[in-house]
Amino acid sequence: MSVGSHFRTSASTGEITIQATKADLQAFSAFVSAVPKAAANAQRRAINKTLGWLRTHIARAVGQKEGIAMKAVRQRLRTYLVRGGTMRGKLWFGLNPLEASRTGRARQTRTGVSVGRRRYAGAFYKKVYGGAPDIWIRTGSKHFSADDYPASDVSGAGGPSSGWISENDSRFPLAKAKIELDDVLPLFRSWTQQAEKRFLELLKQELNFELQKHRSKGRG
Residues 206 and 139 in one domain: no
Range of the domain at 132: 99-179
Strands 13-18 and 89-94: antiparallel
H-only helix segments in the chain: 29-34, 36-66, 70-74, 185-219
Residues 116 and 141 in one domain: yes
Determine, yes or no, domain membership for 1.
Answer: no
Domain tally for the chain?
2
pLDDT, position 218: 67
**0.85 exceeded by the pTM?**
no
Residues 27 and 132 in one domain: no
Residues 157 and 210 in one domain: no
Residues 17 and 92 in one domain: yes
Residues listed for the chain: 220
pLDDT, position 2: 45
pLDDT, position 57: 94
Per DSSP, 95 falls in state: -
Residues 63 and 128 in one domain: no
Residues 192 and 150 in one domain: no
Residues 46 and 88 in one domain: yes
Residues 111 and 80 in one domain: no
Determine, yes or no, domain membership for 104.
Answer: yes
Residues 120 and 87 in one domain: no
CA–CA dist 136, 161 (Å, integer): 15
Distances (CA, A) of 23 to 3, 108, 200: 10, 56, 11
Nearest to 89 by CA among 190, 202, 185, 182: 202
Residues 92 and 186 in one domain: yes
pLDDT, position 208: 93
Partnered with residue 176 across adjacent β-strands are 136
pLDDT, position 156: 37
Residues 87 and 122 in one domain: no
CA 65 centroid distance within chain = 13
Block means of pLDDT (10 residues each) for the chain, 220 residues, are: 74 90 89 91 95 95 91 93 89 92 93 94 89 88 86 47 44 81 88 92 94 78
196: left (phi over 0), alpha (psi -120 to 50) or beta: alpha
